[in-house]
Amino acid sequence: MRMRLQLECCSSLQINDRYEFPDELDLDVDDGKFLAPEADRSVRNKYKLHSVLVHSGGVHGGHYYAYIRSNAKWLKFDDEKVQSCQNALHRMHLVSEVSG
């Protein structure tokens, strides 16, 4: 959850922007322009999305749950309940749920 402080009224505002998560993140693209200057460029800087933590609710309360990739399957962990998600269904849920 991201928040912004509103100085005029000294309160917090929750930011509900849409987020999409690629399955892979390659930081070596465009000659490594996304890497820090001190990054080790002798190794491959390519990452596979492993999990996403989701907060539903407001600034002062809510509920967290997570999507975690186990081998090639995505699982949704919500308290004691764990359920399997199909890849396309998972992506649709991630985009809609994380966006608010």
Write out pLDDT tens, residues 47-64: 998 888 888 777 677 889
Q: What's the mean pLDDT in 68-78?
A: 88
Q: Provide DSSP, 11-77.
A: EEEEE-------SEEETTHHHHTTS-TTS-TTS--EEE--EEEEEEEETTEEEEEEEEEETTEEEEE
Residue 88: what pLDDT? 47
The structure tokens 């966006």 sit at 99
Q: What is the pLDDT of residues 15-51, one digit of tens each?
A: 667 777 788 889 999 999 989 999 998 999 999 988 8
Q: What percent of the chain has pLDDT over 90?
A: 23
